[in-house]
Amino acid sequence: MDNNTFIIPENRYYKLVEKLAKLEKKAIKIGVETPRLTIIGEELIPHPKKNNVMTKVYTIEIFNLTIKYAGWEFIATVQHEEKGNILRFVSDIPIPEQYKYDSPTCEHCNKIRYRKDTYIVKNESEEFKRVGRSCLQDFTGHSGVNSLAAYLEALFSFQEEIKEYDDLMGLEDYADYNYINPVIYMSYVSFCCRKKGWVSRTKSQEQGGVDTSSLALTYMENPKHYNVEIEDEDYESGKKSINWAQQISKQEMVDNNYLYNLGAISQKEGLTYRDLGFFASIFPAYKKSLEIKSESSEYFGKIGERKIFKLKLNYMKTIEGIFGNTFLYKFEDENGNIAIWFASRYQEDLKENTWYNVKATIKSHEEYKGIKQTGINRCKCEIFAPDLL
């Protein structure tokens, strides 16, 4: 069997499958081996024209892309032209040099006549022959000469099309199927949540506005137009949220269908547009998981007291309200005691998982879902420095 390996862009693969099915029907009709296609691998690669987008390519093997009949294998069609022969190969086997230049004679009948095409064949003894169309029936014993010749042309056309896409030639023209990089996309989801808070599709439909998953895609596709610049914290938060979803336990997946879907979609190397809403929802689920803390948290400080505290920022969240946004910052001290700050302005310089010297006033001691939390306000935060305490 012939074995040819090619690399094909995904959308062209489906076109080739359709054409291969037509070739199969013709092969069966003339009684030769039918071509067969097998996918042996697939890969997502950067899209040649679109930033942060990938396209899929298949590595395929195609068998029986030549014709073998009555002990002879068809190698090429020679199209005879006044200024030189044109060779249409259906096999990579080298041919005798004279066939590239000879006049259209037939080595079966040895008659000199005008022929538009001749056919180069080879037997198992490595003997080559060039045969005219009118002699194909006598030479091979095949009665459907015209069908045989037409099938040769179809094979040549098919192989030429494959080679146009193989090794990613023409990929810029044929990479229509887009896959989105999960980490990059989630970085934009993190950016949107940090700046505007999470907006689900349901909420956007009920209250108007743009949902977070769609807004993140808009920003990602044209960040310069919207003056959006992803920061390291967005990239890291995006990666951590995906990693969190990938680590969802099997038991959690059994108990909760939503967590099952989050775990499954987090494994994808490339996202389609239909994946984005579900995939984006990983981020608020991950953020919610950070809110769950041990009940060992205790109050600290005295209400009204103002001093510098050593606190680590664990979590940030934007809360939309009737009169604008409020920004929640959740800290903990070295003993795991929780501090909550509701700020009226977004704090550009604060980063999660970072220790700060926080000059703050103790505002309240309250419980939230059974967990003790110390409310603070009038906060000024500087990266932790021991001498400031």
Domains of the chain: 3-65+166-174 (no CATH), 71-141 (no CATH), 181-291 (no CATH), 306-388 (2.40.50.140)
Q: Residue type for 382, please?
A: E
- pLDDT (average), residues 213-239: 92
CA distance 97 to 81: 17
SS (H, E, C) 24-84: HHHHHHHCCCCCEEEEEEEEEEECCCCCCEEEEEEEEEEECCCCEECCEEEEEEEECCCCC
CA distance 191 to 195: 6
3-state DSSP assignment of residue 187: helix
pLDDT in tens, 61-92: 888 877 777 788 888 888 888 777 888 887 77
The better pLDDT of the pair 2, 71 is held by 71
> Please, is 34 exposed, middle or buried when counting C-beta atoms within 10 Å of its C-beta (0-12, 13-18, 19+)?
middle
Q: Residue type for 377, please?
A: N
Q: Is 43 in contact with 67 (CB distance < 8 Å)?
A: no
The better pLDDT of the pair 253, 217 is held by 217
- Give the tokens for residue 208: 């108007």
pLDDT in tens, 343-377: 988 888 888 888 999 999 999 999 887 789 999 99
pLDDT higher than 70, residue 114:
yes
Q: Is 162 in contact with 16 (CB distance < 8 Å)?
A: yes
Give me the DSSP letters along 271-338: B-GGGHHHHHTHHHHHHHHHH---TT----S-TT-EEEEEEEEEEEEEEEETTEEEEEEEEE-TT--E
**Would you state the pLDDT for residue 341?**
95
pLDDT in tens, 185-205: 999 999 999 888 898 888 888
pLDDT band for 1, please (50, 70, 90 cuts).
very low
Give kind and range of the element (H or E) at residue 23.
helix 10-30
pLDDT band for 96, please (50, 70, 90 cuts).
confident
Beta bridge partners of 5: 61
- pLDDT (average), residues 38-47: 87
- Give the tokens for residue 320: 């939309």
Backbone angles phi, psi at 56, to 5 degrees: -100, 140
Q: Angle 182-196/232-246 helices, nearest 10 degrees?
A: 110
CA distance 107 to 112: 10
3-state DSSP assignment of residue 15: helix
CA distance 68 to 122: 9
- pLDDT (average), residues 100-127: 85
pLDDT higher than 60, residue 389:
no
- pLDDT (average), residues 130-135: 83
- Give the tokens for residue 180: 């989105």
| Listed residue (126, 153, 134, 137) closest to 67, CA to CA | 153
pLDDT higher than 90, residue 101:
no
- Residue 197 falls in which region: left (phi positive, over 0), alpha (psi -120 to 50) or beta: left
Residue 264 CB contacts under 8 Å (≥ 6 apart), including other chains: none
pLDDT in tens, 340-350: 999 988 888 88
pLDDT higher than 80, residue 297:
yes
**Would you state the pLDDT for residue 293?**
57
- pLDDT (average), residues 176-185: 84
CA distance 35 to 2: 9
Place of tokens 């205790």: 298
273 Cα distance to chain centroid: 11
Q: What angle do CA 11, 15, 19 make, to 5 degrees?
A: 160
CA distance 104 to 261: 66
Mean pLDDT of all residues in the chain?
84
pTM assigned to the model: 0.57
**Would you state the pLDDT for residue 2?**
47
- pLDDT (average), residues 228-234: 90
